[in-house]
Amino acid sequence: MISEIHYSIQESGILMKKILIANRGEIAIRIIRACQELKMKTVAVYAKEDEFSVHRFKADEAYQIGAGKKPIEAYLDIDDIIRVAKETGADAVHPGYGFLAENETFAQKCEEAGIIFIGPTKEQLAIFGDKVKAKKAAHDAGLQTIPGSDGPVYSLEEVQEFTKKHGYPIMVKAALGGGGRGMRIINDESEIKESFSRAQSEAKQSFGDEELYIEKYLKNPKHIEVQVLADQHGNVVHLFERDCSVQRRHQKVIEVAPSSLSNERRLEICEAAVSLMKSVHYQNAGTVEFLVTATDFYFIEVNPRVQVEHTITEMITGIDIVQSQILIAAGADLFNDLEIPRQDKLNFHGHAIQCRVTTEDPENNFMPDTGKIETYRSPGGFGVRLDGGNAYAGAVISPYFDSLLVKACVQARTFNGAVLKMNRVLDEFRIRGIKTNIPFMRNVINHPDFISGKAHTTFIDSTPELFH
């Protein structure tokens, strides 16, 4: 199959032999593995503080970027990354998630340099990078969106105006927001002033832009998201949905695929996702996110990139999303080249769960812990998948980057079986020298609300017993 794919890509005139991975940690390694399986060469880039990080040693070549810059800034140094791509003769850049993954300027500069950006077009990034524009696109495609301001709001009066019509509670959100930040709930009039200005300064600080918009705050919805793959020839399929309702402060902690939705509901939501992506002629992998109540489902945003939790969709569908991204960017066709079944033949099997193991101390308000990992023994066995970054005995966890250590995924025939397996996996880890959130996740996966598939987005934050 690979030789056929190479053949047909070469037929189409696009050659992709070497890929630069503009990221670090587990996702850089995930992408390097996909390239290796496709017999493509890899170039890693790293910040000075990452000079001993595993991702640089896994690649065929590795170069430091952003000399003299702060660690995170180094991975955002567009010109330096493009310099390395040109000097090494890379044909394409994979941005992973975070950092430059949704950066239009980066996509544009790659194009100018004759390097393929593995992701959607810059026009599609422009729509989905801004949640206000994304909501409009969804609305235009016939999807239901959460009642909210039709555009950015600039003043307290506009907020009051909205609440007169729609009541409380409302949510104020950063237009360029992400990662659960720049978002605040306003329960009544007395909270408007403070919440609005806080959200504004948080948005400015985190996303460089203080544009805010507001919408109704939905009580106890589920977060359901649909994985979509779209090629450059107009073919679009969904790979079903994930339930990412288990969140702490609006950030995902544990994800499940498929969700506990009925088949009818599932199809309705997945088809809505496909119609949105078709309406913007989307290319590459993307995720359409929804909040789902007992009666309705509402579009919230599109993540135009690979997501942390793509793993569990891969487990239940057997489709390699990262390889698909690379080959789609090279011009491959979903059905003929990638041999992905047509939608009506595409199935999922069993149930998968992902736990994000982080170096955070659950007994100390999830403060990131740093230092040397003294002992590291990982689980394994049937139905287990681990995607790690610097997860080994002797690794030094620095305070500079996000605290994700390893993604522990399991798959089993039944959801119950997957829960039992995840218990075994979490018990089998031996990590000493650094605190992790494993004890907390054990509490979550054994809670009746999680086991019954009923957990809503507020489950963790409203269940104090999980923290003991």
Residues tagged active-site: 252
CB nearer ligand ADP, residue 225 or residue 314: 225
The H or E element that residue 82 is part of is helix 78-88
CB nearer ligand ADP, residue 90 or residue 244: 244
Q: How far is the CB of 5 from ligand ADP (least distance, A)?
A: 33
CB nearer ligand ADP, residue 301 or residue 369: 301
Picking from 258, 279, 288, 322, the residue whose alpha carbon sits closest to that of residue 453 is 258
Q: How far is the CB of 244 from ligand ADP (least distance, A)?
A: 7
The H or E element that residue 264 is part of is helix 263-279
CB nearer ligand ADP, residue 256 or residue 300: 300
CB nearer ligand ADP, residue 301 or residue 337: 301
Residue 42 Cα distances to 32, 327, 444, angstroms? 6, 15, 38
Q: How far is the CB of 11 from ligand ADP (least distance, A)?
A: 39
CB nearer ligand ADP, residue 255 or residue 289: 289
Find where tokens 């088809």 sit: 271
Picking from 390, 399, 411, the residue whose alpha carbon sits closest to that of residue 28 is 390
Q: Distance between CA 306 and CA 94 in Å, rounded? A: 10
At residue 350, the 3 state secondary structure works out as coil
The H or E element that residue 324 is part of is helix 321-329
Is the Cβ–Cβ distance between 250 and 457 less than 8 Å?
yes
Q: Distance between CA 304 and CA 332 in Å, rounded? A: 19
State the pairing for strand pair 41-46/18-21. parallel
Q: Write out the residues near ligand ADP by the rule CB under 6 A.
A: 146, 171, 177-180, 183, 215-218, 221, 223, 247, 250, 289, 291, 300-301, 457
State the pairing for strand pair 222-230/351-358. unpaired
Q: How far is the CB of 102 from ligand ADP (least distance, A)?
A: 10
Q: How far is the CB of 131 from ligand ADP (least distance, A)?
A: 7
Q: How far is the CB of 170 from ligand ADP (least distance, A)?
A: 8
* 362-381: b (≥16 Cβ within 10 Å) or e: beeebebbeeebeebebbee
